[in-house]
Amino acid sequence: MNEFFLLVTACAAGCFLGVFTGLTPGIHVNTLLPFMVVLPVSGIIGAVTIFSLAVTHTFVDFVPSCIFGIPDGDTALSILPAHRLVLAGRGYEAVKLTVVGSLGAFIVSCILVTPMIYLIPVLYRISYPYISYILLFLIFFIVLSEKSVKRILFASGIFLLSGFYGYAILSSPLISEDVVLFPVFCGLFGLSTLFVSMKSQSKIPFQSIDSKIHLNPSEIALNVVKGGIAGILVSLFPGIGPAHATAVMSVRSSPRQFLVAVSGVNTANAVYTLVGVCTIGKARSGAAIAIETLVHVNVKTVGVLLSCGLIAAGIASVAALVLTQRILEVLPTINYRKLMGFTCSVLAVTVWITSGVTGILIMAVGLCIGVLPIFLGVRRAHCMGVLLFPILVYYLGLTF
């Protein structure tokens, strides 16, 4: 009974911290982990706190992304579709779609855990030697899915430009690797969205806080499963993150379908990095590494963590929706351009604090690249070349 109380308390603490990391721009789960180590928690209690934190983060980090256009590595591509919904007065629906996607993917992941414990080692062994070909396939798939030759050319150009941009930053010591993605995504996806919408919009429409979702149940279920399975694949392949899977999933999806799937990828990935530690001994996230140092991750541990994760998912869903309601209630009373200007300032100041003048330069270059797909009428997923290209270069053993 005492241990149950401790686990629930740890879970609640993780949720609280997850809401904090999810809502605060520039703060990731990994940012808090060094502080977690010095806290007087250990073993399964510490692991539950960290896992609940990671799960909650994947629910709540869509709130600032959807409403204010503040990106992080996992949510960057969701900004434009979510922002479209915000400008159509459907901001609450946008966040709700991500909550449904995350919660659904978490449940799907829990159901699939047992078969995946046996399947993941086999899939990993088979696929590991072909990572570079899988990446190449993903890249061609994303670029060639554009509808005309002209757009394919634009997409190729944007992919290569983003790729060289990513390679220049990620393969060099210009900025600490802990914070390097923040200015990159702020520029590519955050500021570019805000910049373009500020150009065309002067007022935020009334935000309807109703429970209606304009997707039928079969579409929701399909995209939840899509996100869940993509999350599993992400946890399998080294070098392929949620952002890459998101880029692939943005092909032929409506904004609403995309929001459900993309949120599912992040949550399923949080679950399956844990399963990955248990089955193939590979920790592919900061949270998984921290959990691995605290407890021996076996099937029983995974069971305990997933049970607590379910509680965290429930709390995080409610927290994300309640917070969104509160924010959206006051949003229409604010001058849109001033709000967007303020958001841009917050992003710029945060980038400056975390990565200095170099970070500002990186963000500015990212902004220039990020506006191109919007004006050229191609998907922004091509900007994910920023991550795909350097990893492909690494796996092909190339250097520039």
Partner 1 sequence: MRDKWVVVGAAVCAVCGVATLFVMAQQSEPASCEIASVNEPGQYVACTGIVYYVREKDGHLFVKIFDGGTIDVPFFNFTDTISVGDLLYVEGITALYHEQLEIIPKTYTVSNVLYGVCTNSRFRTIRGVFHGELDNGIHAVKGVADGDHLVIEQELPSHLFVSFQGRISSRTKGTPSAFTLCGDPRTFFSGFSEHPIRIGEVSGFGVQIGEEVTVLYYQWDELMPEPIAEAKERPEGYSVKVCGTIQSVRGSGGHIFLVIADSTGCILIPVFSTMQDELGVDAEHFYVGQTITVVGTIAVYKGAPEILPDVIT
Judged by beta carbon, residue 221 or residue 368, the one nearer partner 1 is: 368
Whose tokens are 């609450």? That residue is 92
Q: Of these, 169, 229, 311, 327, which contacts partner 1 (CB under 8 A)?
A: 169
As to burial, measured by CB atoms within 10 angstroms (0-12 exposed, 13-18 middle, 19+ buried), residue 144 is exposed
Q: Of these, 3, 35, 115, 177, which contacts partner 1 (CB under 8 A)?
A: 177
Reported residue count of the chain is 400
Q: Of these, 42, 141, 148, 178, which contacts partner 1 (CB under 8 A)?
A: 178
7: number of CA atoms within 13 Å, CB side? 15
CA 269 to chain centre: 10
- In the region spanning residues 344 to 363, those forming contacts with partner 1, defined by CB under 8 A, are 358, 361-362
| Least distance (Å) between residue 237 CB and partner 1 | 16
Q: How far is CA 206 from CA 78, 153, 328, 343, 352, in A?
A: 21, 39, 9, 19, 33
Alpha-carbon dihedral angle through residues 172, 175, 177, 181, given to the nearest 10 degrees: -100
CA 170 to chain centre: 18
| Least distance (Å) between residue 145 CB and partner 1 | 22
Would you count residue 200 as binding partner 1 (CB under 8 A)? Answer: no
Would you count residue 173 as binding partner 1 (CB under 8 A)? Answer: yes
| Least distance (Å) between residue 128 CB and partner 1 | 9
| Least distance (Å) between residue 392 CB and partner 1 | 14
Alpha-carbon dihedral angle through residues 77, 80, 84, 85, given to the nearest 10 degrees: 20
Would you count residue 127 as binding partner 1 (CB under 8 A)? Answer: no
* CB count in 10 Å sphere of residue 134: 17
Would you count residue 168 as binding partner 1 (CB under 8 A)? Answer: yes
Q: Which of 347, 29, 49 is nearest to 178 (CA)?
A: 29
Binding mask 266-305 for partner 1 (x = CB under 8 A): -----------------------x--xx------------
Would you count residue 369 as binding partner 1 (CB under 8 A)? Answer: yes
- Number of shown-chain residues binding partner 1 (CB under 8 A): 30
358: number of CA atoms within 13 Å, CB side? 12
Would you count residue 12 as binding partner 1 (CB under 8 A)? Answer: no
| Least distance (Å) between residue 338 CB and partner 1 | 23
Q: Of these, 29, 240, 372, 388, which contacts partner 1 (CB under 8 A)?
A: 372
Would you count residue 312 as binding partner 1 (CB under 8 A)? Answer: no
Query: What six digits make up the tokens of 97?
Result: 């779609």
Judged by beta carbon, residue 199 or residue 203, the one nearer partner 1 is: 199
DSSP 203: S
Identify which range of 168-176, 218-226, 258-266, 268-276 contacts partner 1 by CB under 8 A: 168-176
The CA distance from 34 to 117, in Å, is 29
Q: Of these, 6, 107, 310, 364, which contacts partner 1 (CB under 8 A)?
A: 364
Q: Of these, 259, 278, 371, 384, which contacts partner 1 (CB under 8 A)?
A: 371
Strand (E) or helix (H) holding 212: none
Judged by beta carbon, residue 103 or residue 369, the one nearer partner 1 is: 369
The CA distance from 308 to 314, in Å, is 10
The CA distance from 80 to 74, in Å, is 14
| Least distance (Å) between residue 170 CB and partner 1 | 10
In terms of phi and psi (left: phi > 0; alpha: psi -120 to 50; beta: otherwise), the region of 370 is: alpha
| Least distance (Å) between residue 293 CB and partner 1 | 6
Would you count residue 198 as binding partner 1 (CB under 8 A)? Answer: no
Binding site for partner 1 (CB under 8 A): 37, 161, 164-165, 168-169, 171-179, 289, 292-293, 358, 361-362, 364-365, 368-369, 371-372, 375-376, 397
